[in-house]
Amino acid sequence: MANIIDGKAVSARVKEEIAKETAAVKAKYGINIGLAVVIVGDDPASRIYVNNKKKACETVGFTSYEYALSAETTQEELLQLIDKLNKDDNVNGILVQLPLPKHLDEKAVINSISPEKDVDAFHPVNVGKIMIGEYSFLPCTPAGIMELITSTGVEIKGKECVVVGRSNIVGKPMSMLLLHQSGTVTICHSKTQDLAQHCRKADILVVAVGVPKLVSGDMIKEGAVVIDVGMNRLENGKLCGDVDFDSAKEKASFITPVPGGVGPMTIAMLMKNTLTAAKIKHGIE
């Protein structure tokens, strides 16, 4: 029977550390730390995420600046706002809540954010830095997962690590971080033949697919660490992961629940990146 990895508790600890460091930095250097959150349109899920990010800013002692733009905002207007935020000394981090309405070019918007303020770490400059292991920011979800794995005390070095999913925001950077920690990494995706066989090799299994209960207990090696990134909303309104928790917990040594596993970590790591951005700007070690 697996130990349940408590993402809420780890996230609270990370936010507490950030709050302490923020208070110390503010007191010593007399600076303010600011995160600008841009939301376009009125997608209810995006609204919840943005509110949670603002709340987290308050918790750790940052100033949050919200820019709620109408769904009709043009590309030009959005790029102008980002340009203004890039130049604004009060703003250390810029987050554009995705997805954007269809008429906007997401890639161009991400590329317009100054890499120094790109606290989501989606800008190609930051993606490239992750590849060569010389990064300032890590994308929030994979960074949060690394914290969760660390919290188990299980060492990554030399372990068989299998990542299911190869998206730019989760699967690919996740694989890179495990590789940087000297894991032996396999990346699986929708064209992988015999997914179960790959999963069964994993000492550390990270599943980021978006298919409810794709990975079941019989696909898991005895004693594996299982990280379920999936957040699938079922018809009954409940959230469900990509891993079948009930059967998987019988095989895993550690497993994340959904909700309460990876989810809470993402915002904590966003706060960490914003603090890092402010420290770099002010030359603080």
Q: Kindly state whether residue 266 participates in binding ligand NDP, applying the rule CB under 6 A.
A: yes
Is residue 97 annotated as a catalytic residue, yes or no? yes
* Selected range binding ligand NDP among 16-24, 178-186, 217-225, 262-270, rule: CB under 6 A: 262-270
The answer to whether the CB of 219 falls within 8 A of the CB of 196 is yes
Residue 204 tokens read as 């550390």
Find the binder of ligand NDP among 94, 143, 262, 275 (CB under 6 A): 262
Strands 63-69 and 239-240: unpaired
Backbone angles phi, psi at 161, to 5 degrees: -115, 125
Site for ligand NDP in 160-199 (CB under 6 A): 164-167, 169-171, 188-192, 195
Q: Considering beta carbons, is residue 150 or 190 the nearer one to ligand NDP?
A: 190
Site for ligand NDP in 223-242 (CB under 6 A): 229-232
Site for ligand NDP in 19-58 (CB under 6 A): none
CB of residue 187 to ligand NDP, shortest distance in Å:
9
Q: Kindly state whether residue 209 participates in binding ligand NDP, applying the rule CB under 6 A.
A: yes
Residue 2 tokens read as 């697996």
Is residue 120 annotated as a catalytic residue, yes or no? yes
CB of residue 142 to ligand NDP, shortest distance in Å:
9
Provide the strand spans (E) within 124-238. 160-164, 184-188, 204-207, 225-228, 232-233
Q: Kindly state whether residue 249 participates in binding ligand NDP, applying the rule CB under 6 A.
A: no
* Selected range binding ligand NDP among 47-55, 102-110, 154-162, 206-214, rule: CB under 6 A: 206-214
Q: Considering beta carbons, is residue 73 or 126 the nearer one to ligand NDP?
A: 126
Residue 107 to residue 128: CA distance in whole angstroms = 15
Q: In Å, how far are 46, 119, 155, 229 from 237, measured between CA atoms?
A: 17, 31, 36, 18
Is residue 84 annotated as a catalytic residue, yes or no? no
CA end-to-end span of the chain: 43
Residue 226 to residue 262: CA distance in whole angstroms = 11
Residue 214 to residue 216: CA distance in whole angstroms = 6
Q: Kindly state whether residue 270 participates in binding ligand NDP, applying the rule CB under 6 A.
A: no
Q: Which of 166, 114, 107 is nearest to 136 (CA)?
A: 114
CB of residue 210 to ligand NDP, shortest distance in Å:
4
Residue nearest to ligand NDP (CB): 167
Find the binder of ligand NDP among 92, 141, 175, 186 (CB under 6 A): 141
- Report how many residues bind ligand NDP under the rule CB under 6 A: 26
Residue 38 to residue 193: CA distance in whole angstroms = 40
Residue 271 to residue 213: CA distance in whole angstroms = 30
Q: Which residues of this protein are in contact with ligand NDP, per CB under 6 A?
A: 141, 164-167, 169-171, 188-192, 195, 208-211, 214, 229-232, 262-263, 266
Which positions are catalytic?
53, 97, 120
